[in-house]
Amino acid sequence: MKKYFAGVDIGSTMTKVVIIGDSIEATIIGPTGPEHRKLANKVMEDALVKAHLAFEDLTYIVATGYGRINVPFADRQITEITCHAKGLHYLLPTVKTIVDIGGQDSKGIKIKDGRVNNFVMNDKCAAGTGRFLEVIADSLNVPLEKLGEISISAERAAEISSTCTVFAEHEVTNQLANGESVANLIAGVHMSVATRVSSLVKKLQIEKDIAITGGGAKNIGLVRALEEKFGCPVLVPPEPLITGALGAAIMGKEIYEKFSREGQTPTRSGRGLEEARFFS
């Protein structure tokens, strides 16, 4: 009988679920709200519907991401660094350096033989994270997902001298008042994030290929700015938000297979979706 495995990635901004069998069966992405537990259930239910499966069909479930302890039905929790590397290696096996730009952090991960070799992370300062883009998008009254598209039409990138999100927001407002175009400002903001992220990732010995994941990868302007900073093309997986959840599902499959080879089965959490809902 075919076995199915699920990975749940609860990020600060988005929650993702991936179900795999022999290949990817279903992926679901939804915003992370204040109630992680309820949300994890909801997103998992949606993914099961999409995959035409019941909860009982899942052999093993791994949770990852910043909210991973809030997935009661998960059998195991694994850090997002490990899962990210695993998921990306499956999708783009030639990649040796991952740049992940999330809603509230940014990371650099080095992969060697499909495993994490080293990593750097910034979650202490909003500069260089998705939050920086969110703040600027808000103050320019532009939807976050439009930033990339708009910046492509820029004549040049406006100079944003402040690193700090708070000060950069002021700078952008002032430059706008002085007649700078929205497109040039957004291009400048992308350059600022790219500068910050590349100086973080350069602490690792960068090796090609480089891939970008996380919400930041959906912004074509930011991807171009990073390519300029790194001086080489940057690969973007088809769905850059799900690498963590996909990696979690693959980890689950590998854990299960390792136990099977020894004639055992891994311990399950024993919690179902219904129960989880009861406790939430």
Partner 1 sequence: MAFFLGIDIGSGYSKAVVCEDQTLISHAVMPSGGDYRESARRVAETALSKINISMNQVVYTVAAGYGATMVNFADKTSTDISCHAKGVHHLFPDVRTVIDIGTQYSRAISLDNNGSVVNFIMNEKCAGGSGKFLQIIARILHMDVNDIGSLSLTATKPVEFTTACAVFAESEAVSRISEGALPADILAGLHNAMASKITTLITRIGLTPDFAVTGGGAKDIGLVKAIETELEKSVLTTDEPHITAALGAALLASESL
What residues make contact with partner 1 under the rule CB under 8 A?
34, 104, 123-126, 131-132, 135, 162-167
173 or 269, CB closer to partner 1? 173
Cα gap 211→226, rounded to integer Å: 10
**Smallest separation (angstroms) from partner 1 to the CB of 13:** 11
13 or 118, CB closer to partner 1? 13
54 or 69, CB closer to partner 1? 69
Cα 205-211-216 angle, rounded to 5 deg: 110
**Smallest separation (angstroms) from partner 1 to the CB of 124:** 5
| CA-to-CA dists, residue 120 to 5, 97, 105, angstroms | 29, 11, 11
Cα gap 245→99, rounded to integer Å: 16
**Smallest separation (angstroms) from partner 1 to the CB of 167:** 6
162 or 175, CB closer to partner 1? 162
How many Cβ atoms are within 10 Å of 109's Cβ, its own excluded?
26
Cα 56-26-237 angle, rounded to 5 deg: 140
**Smallest separation (angstroms) from partner 1 to the CB of 164:** 5
Cα gap 94→276, rounded to integer Å: 39
